[in-house]
């Protein structure tokens, strides 16, 4: 009996993922969209992004859930998740895309682009003398698969780059700080704070009014991870009061961001609709296939998610 991989995503095209995966699975695994599965008993693998409630109950023989992305917060929070291993994507192209976006956002603030955009809207030649990269301190909160690559890219540009995580790590050009006690001092010295933390019970609203107050006056804030890591009302207040000079925001507590949300119109704020990075079929397919083979042959999984940590 051929095993089946069931696919569900409201964002990603099934045909493209099927065609990218098929050559790596050598015909040993059938790939089907959830609505087209005729024999749910054969489904051993699920490749999913935000499947609907009750999705997993249809497949009693699931052995692996593959999250079609890096962030697993919505998946691990479900109460219908079967007790099987979960893996996430750790796709090199997704990492490059995220590092590129974060670098753009850091440069936007480091090179005072919001100041020039505002001046241009007034047809005003508003010279502001540039600073050397080494004079700008950037703090990257979260040094995981995506965060570590972004931090090393920022460091490569010559910025004084710091990172924050739970555990120490060795990253070229990045000074790493660990644990809750280290956060306040780091926020106080950063000109630009980049949030790349996963959303977990520990990180939910971790960037609250106290955290924004701890940031340097005039600092800029970038969020590319999850909106709920931030107390959005506190962020609005920090921007409105001028304590923060601006922000580049790709993620929000509620998406799409409501048309009347104050963040749309605050000065120095750039809003993008949750697209800093996406999973790319051709570069993600080999690792998905490797994990399917690992289940079939009893081998070790890669990119497995810790349910207890939540990332
Ligand atoms: P990882 O899960 O690989 O790494 C998470 C990092 O955060 C680790 O360095 C971890 O520390 C650190 N961390 C977790 N909890 C804490 C805590 N309580 N205190 C301090 N540090 C903590 O994440 P990725 O780098 O792969 O991705 C980050 C997030 O980016 C994803 O969770 C997802 O939400 C988001 N994302 C957004 C996209 C977009 O388009 N906007 C696209 C893809 C992902 P340690 O290393 O010590 O474990």
Q: Are residue 100 and residue 235 in the same domain, yes or no?
A: yes
Is there a single domain that holds both residue 38 and residue 83? yes
Q: Is 195 in the pocket of ligand 1 (CB under 6 A)?
A: no
Q: Is residue 305 part of a domain?
A: no
Q: Are residues 284 and 222 in the same domain?
A: no
pLDDT at 104: 98
Same domain, 105 and 135: yes
For residues 151 and 188, membership in a common domain is answered with yes
Distances (CA, A) of 243 to 78, 115, 262: 37, 16, 16
CA 141 to ligand 1 centroid distance, Å: 8
Residue 295, burial from CB neighbour count under 10 angstroms (0-12, 13-18, 19+): middle
Closest C-alpha to 178, from 216, 142, 150, 153: 142
Residues 146 and 82 in one domain: no
Residues 235 and 266 in one domain: yes
**37/171 same-domain check:** no
Separation between Cα atoms, residue 26 and residue 28, nearest integer Å: 5
Q: Is residue 307 part of a domain?
A: no
- The finding on whether 87 has its CB within 6 A of some atom of ligand 1 is no
309 is a domain residue = no
Q: Are residues 104 and 198 in the same domain?
A: yes
45 closest CA partner among 286, 34, 70: 34
Q: Where in the sequence is the domain holding 117, given as residue range(s)? A: 93-271
Determine whether the shortest distance from the Cβ of 186 to ligand 1 is under 6 A. Answer: no
For residue 24, tell me if it sits in a domain. yes
Residue 304 lies in a domain: no
- CATH number, domain with residue 103: 3.40.50.720
Q: Could you tell me if 34 and 99 lie in one domain?
A: no
Rounded Cα gap, residues 144 and 160, in angstroms: 19
Q: What is the pLDDT along the chain (311 residues), one digit of tens a residue?
A: 899 999 999 999 999 999 999 999 988 899 999 999 999 999 999 999 999 999 999 999 999 999 999 999 999 999 999 999 999 999 899 999 999 999 999 999 999 999 999 999 999 999 999 999 999 999 999 999 999 999 999 999 999 999 999 999 999 999 999 999 999 999 999 999 999 999 999 999 999 999 999 999 999 999 999 999 999 999 999 999 999 999 999 999 999 999 999 999 999 999 999 999 999 999 999 999 999 999 999 999 999 999 999 99
Determine the atom of ligand 1 nearest the C-alpha atom of 178: 20
Q: Is residue 303 part of a domain?
A: no
Domain count, the chain: 2
The Å distance, Cα 165 to ligand 1 centre, comes to: 9
Cα 47 versus chain centre, distance: 18
Question: Residue 123: how many CB atoms within 10 A of its CB?
Answer: 6
Helices (H), 88-203: 92-110, 113-121, 145-156, 180-189
Closest CA to 196 of 173, 162, 170, 235: 162
Question: Which residues belong to the active site?
Answer: 226, 274
Among 207, 202, 237, CA closest to 223: 207
Cα–Cα distance measured from residue 236 to residue 98, given in angstroms and rounded to the nearest whole number: 24
How many whole angstroms from 149 Cα to the centroid of ligand 1?
12
Assigned domain for 32 exists = yes
Can you give the pLDDT at residue 256?
Answer: 98
Question: Which atom of ligand 1 lies closest to the CA of 250?
Answer: 41
Q: Quick one: 131 and 254 in the same domain?
A: yes
> Angle of helix 92-110 relative to helix 113-121, nearest 10 degrees?
60
Q: Both 184 and 142 in a single domain? A: yes
């Amino acid at each position: 009996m051929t095993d089946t991989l069931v696919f569900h995503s409201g964002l990603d095209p099934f045909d493209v993922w099927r065609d990218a995966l098929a050559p790596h699975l050598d015909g040993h695994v059938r790939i089907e969209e959830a609505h087209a599965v005729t024999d749910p008993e054969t489904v051993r693998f699920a490749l999913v992004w935000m499947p609907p409630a009750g999705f997993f109950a249809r497949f009693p023989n699931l052995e692996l859930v593959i999250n079609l992305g890096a962030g697993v917060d919505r998946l691990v929070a479900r109460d219908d998740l079967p007790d099987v291993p979960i893996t996430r994507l750790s796709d090199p192209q997704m990492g490059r895309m995220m590092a590129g976006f974060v670098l753009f956002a850091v440069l936007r603030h480091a090179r005072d682009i919001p100041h020039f955009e505002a001046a241009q809207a007034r047809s005003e030649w508003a010279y502001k003398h540039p600073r050397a990269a080494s004079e700008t301190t950037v703090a990257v909160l979260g040094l995981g698969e995506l965060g570590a690559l972004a931090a090393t890219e920022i460091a490569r540009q010559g910025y004084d780059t710091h990172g924050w995580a739970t555990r120490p790590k060795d990253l070229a050009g990045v000074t790493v700080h660990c644990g809750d006690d280290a956060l306040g001092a780091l926020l106080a010295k950063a000109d630009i704070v980049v949030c790349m933390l996963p959303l977990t019970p520990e990180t939910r609203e971790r960037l609250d009014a106290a955290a924004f107050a701890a940031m340097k006056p005039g600092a800029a804030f970038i969020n590319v991870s999850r909106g709920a890591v931030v107390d959005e009302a506190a962020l609005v207040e920090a921007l409105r009061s001028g304590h923060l000079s601006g922000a580049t925001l790709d993620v929000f507590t509620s998406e799409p961001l409501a048309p009347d949300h104050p963040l749309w119109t605050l000065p120095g704020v750039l809003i993008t609709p949750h697209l800093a990075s996406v999973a790319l079929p051709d570069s993600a397919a080999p690792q998905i296939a490797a994990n399917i083979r690992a289940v079939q042959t009893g081998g070790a999984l890669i990119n497995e998610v810790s349910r207890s940590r939540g990332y």
